[in-house]
Amino acid sequence: MESRGDNGRRGFVFQVTNEINGIGLGLRYDLATELLERRPKGVSWVEIHPENYLGRGGRYAEILDLAREDWPVVTHGLSTCFGALEPLDEDYANDLRGLLNDLEVPWHSEHLCIGAVNTHFFHDLLPLPFTDEAVATSAQRICEMRDALDVPIALENVSYYAPQAANGLDEADFVLEVLERADAKLLLDVNNIYVNARNFGFDPEAYIDKIPIDRVVQIHVAGHLVRDDGIRIDTHGEPVPNDVYRLLEYALRKVGPVPVLLERDNNVPALEELLAEIDQLWSIYEGATGEKRAS
Ligand SMILES: [Fe+2]
């Protein structure tokens, strides 16, 4: 285990992340066969949505087993958003706990948002109001999940498109309050910060400056759509733009070598194109953190 002692940060990171580091890729079904055949060196770990694998056998179980031969697996949930007001689904939590235990994940992440009301799923990640009440309910849900799953819980900051009430917290302060109240970890999505910053006119670097770096366990990076009217939409369907690469570099210089995931869920290109983006991410990662990819 490496401990550089420059700011105490790196030793802490390696301890928390259980040696998961460098650049990862989402293990999406459409890509899995080629990814598992080629097992490219640039991919150091993979992320899954547990909803795609829980209770499923056949090819899904096979993909997960094959992936685990070479890669650590991190889980990122889509269905148990922290803003939910309904009681935690204990049956689902039990099933999820079993999967996380099998995979020996270092943490489990979900989004700081609302994804369903009374079991009606929106199939979207809708923002919470940035209020003290939402801080309290979200923090409570994170604590409940940590107890139920018995792993550290990381929240992910989301993109949104409706302006918040003027008398609420600003986004970064809202995220910070939930992190502190729940004593949670952070999955820092730099594309989501960039999209929100451009749509609502705030400084994305100032947002990152507020983040308590010792809570960051993982970073997401992705591309987004720019509409003709200039509004940016978090599609995960475009290449990562240079401004998001630059924000990633800024974050890595502050946070240190936490694992970075390339998210690509729509308009998925040939694996070769994603591997070129992963090369670019490695260049930024090595430059910003001093860490080197395995040769
Ligand atoms: Fe993300």
**What's the pLDDT score for residue 264?**
94
162 within domain boundaries? yes
3 within domain boundaries? no
CATH code: domain of residue 238: 3.20.20.150
- State the average pLDDT over residues 133-154: 97
Q: How far is the CA of 119 from the centre of ligand 1 (A)?
A: 23
Q: How far is the CA of 263 from the centre of ligand 1 (A)?
A: 7
Tell me how far apart the 2 most distant CA atoms of the chain are, in Å: 53
Q: How far is the CA of 156 from the centre of ligand 1 (A)?
A: 7
Q: Going along 5-163, which residue ranges are E strands?
A: 23-26, 45-48, 73-76, 108-111, 114-117, 120-126, 153-156
A 10 A CB-CB count for 247 gives 21
Q: How far is the CA of 259 from the centre of ligand 1 (A)?
A: 13
Q: How far is the CA of 157 from the centre of ligand 1 (A)?
A: 8
Mean pLDDT rounded to a whole number for the chain: 91
Q: What is the pLDDT of residues 180-201, one digit of tens each?
A: 999 999 999 999 999 999 999 9
Q: How many Å separate Cα 46 from the centre of its chain?
A: 12
pLDDT > 70 in the chain, percent: 94
Lowest mean pLDDT among 10-24, 92-106, 198-212, 213-227: 10-24
Structural domain of 70: 9-289
204 within domain boundaries? yes
Q: How far is the CA of 104 from the centre of ligand 1 (A)?
A: 21
Q: How many residues does the chain have?
A: 295
β-bridge mates for residue 45, sequence order: 24
166 within domain boundaries? yes
The model's pTM is: 0.91
Q: How far is the CA of 36 from the centre of ligand 1 (A)?
A: 23
56 within domain boundaries? yes
Q: How far is the CA of 5 from the centre of ligand 1 (A)?
A: 30
145 within domain boundaries? yes
Confidence of residue 6 (pLDDT cuts 50, 70, 90): very low
**What's the pLDDT score for residue 232?**
96
Domain total of the chain: 1
**What's the pLDDT score for residue 53?**
94
Q: How far is the CA of 189 from the centre of ligand 1 (A)?
A: 5
Q: How far is the CA of 294 from the centre of ligand 1 (A)?
A: 25
Is the model's pLDDT at 15 over the cut of 80? no
**What's the pLDDT score for residue 295?**
76
Q: How far is the CA of 158 from the centre of ligand 1 (A)?
A: 7
4 within domain boundaries? no
Confidence of residue 41 (pLDDT cuts 50, 70, 90): very high
Q: What is the pLDDT of residues 87-119, one digit of tens each?
A: 999 999 999 999 999 999 999 999 999 877 777
Q: How far is the CA of 192 from the centre of ligand 1 (A)?
A: 7
65 within domain boundaries? yes
Which run of H or E residues covers position 34? helix 29-38
**What's the pLDDT score for residue 177?**
97
